[in-house]
């Protein structure tokens, strides 16, 4: 009797020692899917490639039915060949492992099943103790009672750690082979199945030879189990898996860091990230267009920036539908995380004049309306032209082409700067526009992404489309949490006025201040802008494919050495747009092409326009429209 009691006491003590601190098994499959997931944010380019990550890499959950048979077979053959026979614990395998370890004097085999590995990874701490092994076994059997073998295998394949921060076969397939798990070949599946034994040491990006050697063991085990025949085995061994070119290159923070931060910030603005700590954020970024923008900015500034005291720059490129195809917030994100494309507010200078003239169009002016380019004074404010000098009578079209300040100032005074500010807000400016006379020359600060959106209105026949960076956001289970709903652009400017502006802006590139932005094989329109003392220089323009804005300046607002919008920004714009359009068939602008005129023809055009306007006024003196020019006829 004493022995029985002693035995019961010993058993009870042993039971408490082994299981007293054991955590409870999850109560459902859903709980197992979500347990122990660290916060993770993955940002994808338009083609699905990873361009930024924070935290572990989780792929889209995949079902067994989506995978080729050789993917689960590879893991079963090398990790748990009796998976479909045991109850969570493979006692024969544990005995074999114990004998092998005793004979070798060290641990050379493990007896863990796939279910026990799940328990270790998702529920228990990774301690290598007898107590933890006993808990693994008990919890594995509990899970086997709760789930089907297929559910366990599917969960394992989606949660197993496979090195390089990748959890699950979908994430690992993307990381090493730049494909989905459904596209994995036999050789590639063998590489992935080789990794659970030592995911860091065997990661093919660090030790491809060791990974391939272990993959041969996987293939041998698959042949032994009858999953593949000898011919398939020999073919796989003789033609081992090759890594994708992108596998040895991590997402480049210098190139994509500003995009990643902006995408994550916008995701946080539409979702409660705490409720969904694992997000896959799909963006509109085109990797080739992004690379071209980054290279153009750095090429020009590395070549000329130091000599011209120009230290920084930014680029935004939009599709005509508003999709952000490239966003460069600075020369190198690793040097500065400040996003000059969306955070910096700088004076646009003459790049704001299209807003002024668009407001004038709505008040009855046209591209042919003539003004006198001469000294003007508006309650003490006396704007001058860049470089000094005056041209006399000149049309609005030619004033924009040659960036004549006095004409823009006169138009603003004539129609009222409040209407100019309202037009700017309507076209897409989100910063405050101060309705003072200097607004007409771009004295109010704007953001590059906003000004680029304004020009998109001119390219889109007066329709405004908001810039779109994120198309959808998914959670760890692949469920769509948020999706962008495309909407037709709002008509914020008449089609006729928008096309008139487009024609005028094309003239700027053809033979105005923006000739350095001319493209060899397609029409382009745009405008230069330079703030006082060359603190900011801009070129914003468009083709039939893209609307792109470029800003160059210094973060501390110090002047550059004579940099204008028609110099460095126009050169950056041309280099970028030339490369971004490679392989794209030329697509014309919707507006009529401008007519090229000599200076004498421009003067005559201004004279006849003024004469025509004066006759109109004589015939209809009560017409509700502004005068054709500040000075009228002599």
Which structure tokens are listed for 570? 């126009």
Contact 581, 551 (CB under 8 A): no
DSSP conformational letter for 363: T
DSSP annotation string for 319-344: ETTSBEEEEE-SS-TTT----TTTT-
DSSP conformational letter for 513: T
Give, for 470, the enclosing helix (H) or strand (E).
Answer: strand 470-474
HEC secondary structure over 570-604:
HHHHHHHHHHHCCCCCCCCCCCCCCCCCCHHHHHH
Q: In sequence order, which residues have a C-beta less than 8 Å from that of residue 561 and are 6 or more positions away?
A: 307, 308, 309, 310, 534
The answer for 579, left when phi > 0, alpha when psi is -120 to 50, beta otherwise, is: alpha
Q: Which of 437, 449, 150 minimizes the C-alpha distance to 315?
A: 449
Give, for 294, the enclosing helix (H) or strand (E).
Answer: helix 287-300
DSSP annotation string for 139-182: HHHHHHHHS-HHHHHHHHHHH-B-STTEESHHHHHHHHHSS-GG
Which structure tokens are listed for 515? 């000739």
Angle between helices 186-194 and 70-79 (to 10 degrees): 30
Which structure tokens are listed for 227? 């999953």
Q: Which residues pair with 381 in a beta bridge?
A: 378
DSSP conformational letter for 164: T
Q: Which of 286, 17, 471, 157 minimizes the C-alpha distance to 166?
A: 157
Give, for 482, the enclosing helix (H) or strand (E).
Answer: strand 480-483
Which structure tokens are listed for 268? 């946080």
The 10 Å Cβ neighbour count of residue 181 is 25
Helices (H), 416-555: 417-427, 448-459, 495-511
- For residues 313 and 348, what is the distance between their CA atoms, to the nearest angstrom? 14
HEC secondary structure over 59-94:
CCCCCHHHCCCHHHHHHHHHHCCCCCCCCCCCHHHH
Q: Which of 335, 529, 556 minimizes the C-alpha distance to 441?
A: 529
Which residue do the tokens 């005068």 mark?
A: 627
Catalytic residue positions, numbered: 79, 350
| Coil vs helix vs strand at 478 | coil
DSSP annotation string for 98-141: HHHHHHHTS-------HHHHHHHHHTS----SHHHHHHHHHHHH
Contact 123, 35 (CB under 8 A): yes
Q: In sequence order, which residues have a C-beta less than 8 Å from that of residue 490 and are 6 or more positions away?
A: 463, 464
| Coil vs helix vs strand at 396 | helix
Q: In sequence order, which residues have a C-beta less than 8 Å from that of residue 132 and are 6 or more positions away?
A: 120, 124, 125
- For residues 369 and 158, what is the distance between their CA atoms, to the nearest angstrom? 68
């Amino acid at each position: 009797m004493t022995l029985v009691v002693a035995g019961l006491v010993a058993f009870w003590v042993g039971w408490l020692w082994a299981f007293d601190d054991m955590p409870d098994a999850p109560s459902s499959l859903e709980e197992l899917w979500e347990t122990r997931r660290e916060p993770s944010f993955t940002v994808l380019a338009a083609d699905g490639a990873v361009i930024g990550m924070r935290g572990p890499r989780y792929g889209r959950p995949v079902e067994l039915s989506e995978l080729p048979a050789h993917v689960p077979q590879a893991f079963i053959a090398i990790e748990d060949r009796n998976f479909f026979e045991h109850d969570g614990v493979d006692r024969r395998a544990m005995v074999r492992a114990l004998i092998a370890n005793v004979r070798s004097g060290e641990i050379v085999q493990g007896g863990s099943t796939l279910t026990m590995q799940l328990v270790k990874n998702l529920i228990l701490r990774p301690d290598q103790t007898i107590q933890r092994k006993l808990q693994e076994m008990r919890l594995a059997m509990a899970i086997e009672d709760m789930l089907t073998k297929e559910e366990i295998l599917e969960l394992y394949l989606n949660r197993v750690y496979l090195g390089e921060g990748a959890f699950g076969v979908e994430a690992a397939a993307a990381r090493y082979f730049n494909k989905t798990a459904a596209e994995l070949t036999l050789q590639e599946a063998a590489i992935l199945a080789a990794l659970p034994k030592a995911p860091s040491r065997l990661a093919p990006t660090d030790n491809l030879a060791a990974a391939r050697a272990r993959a041969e063991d996987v293939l041998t085990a698959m042949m032994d189990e009858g999953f593949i025949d000898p011919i398939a085995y020999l073919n796989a061994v003789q033609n081992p898996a090759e890594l994708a070119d992108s596998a040895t290159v991590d997402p480049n923070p210098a190139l994509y860091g500003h995009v990643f931060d902006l995408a994550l910030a916008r995701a946080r603005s539409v979702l409660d990230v705490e409720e969904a700590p694992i997000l896959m954020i799909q963006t509109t970024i085109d990797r080739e267009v992004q690379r071209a923008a980054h290279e153009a900015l750095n090429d020009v500034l590395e070549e000329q920036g130091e000599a011209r005291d120009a230290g920084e720059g930014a680029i935004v490129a939009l599709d005509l539908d508003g999709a952000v195809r490239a966003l460069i917030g600075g020369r190198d994100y690793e040097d500065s995380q400040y996003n000059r494309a969306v955070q910096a507010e700088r004076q646009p200078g003459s790049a704001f004049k299209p807003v002024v003239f668009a407001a004038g169009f709505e008040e009855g002016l046209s591209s042919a309306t003539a003004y006198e380019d001469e000294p003007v004074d508006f309650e003490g404010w006396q704007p001058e032209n860049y470089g000094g000098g005056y041209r006399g009578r000149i049309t609005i079209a030619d004033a924009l082409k040659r960036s004549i300040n006095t004409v823009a100032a006169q138009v603003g005074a004539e129609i009222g700067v409040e209407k100019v500010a309202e037009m700017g807000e309507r076209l897409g400016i989100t910063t405050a526009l101060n309705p003072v006379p200097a607004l007409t020359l771009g004295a109010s600060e704007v953001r590059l992404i906003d000004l680029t959106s304004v020009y998109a209105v001119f390219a889109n026949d007066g329709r405004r489309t908001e810039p779109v960076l994120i198309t959808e956001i998914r959670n760890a289970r692949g469920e769509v949490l948020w999706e962008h709903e495309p909407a037709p652009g709002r008509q914020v400017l008449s089609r006729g006025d928008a096309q008139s502006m487009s024609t005028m802006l094309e003239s700027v590139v053809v033979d105005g201040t923006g000739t350095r932005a001319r493209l060899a094989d397609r029409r382009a329109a745009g405008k230069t802008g330079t703030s006082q003392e060359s603190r900011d220089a801009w070129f914003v323009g468009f083709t039939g494919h893209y609307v792109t804005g470029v800003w160059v300046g210094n973060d501390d607002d110090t002047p550059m050495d004579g940099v204008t919008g028609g110099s460095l920004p126009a050169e950056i714009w041309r280099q970028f747009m030339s490369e971004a359009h490679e392989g794209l068939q030329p697509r014309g602008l919707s507006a009529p092409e401008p007519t090229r005129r000599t200076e004498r023809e421009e003067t005559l055009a201004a004279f006849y326009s003024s004469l025509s306007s004066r006759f109109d006024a004589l015939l209809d003196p009560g017409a509700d429209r502004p005068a054709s020019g500040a000075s009228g006829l002599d």
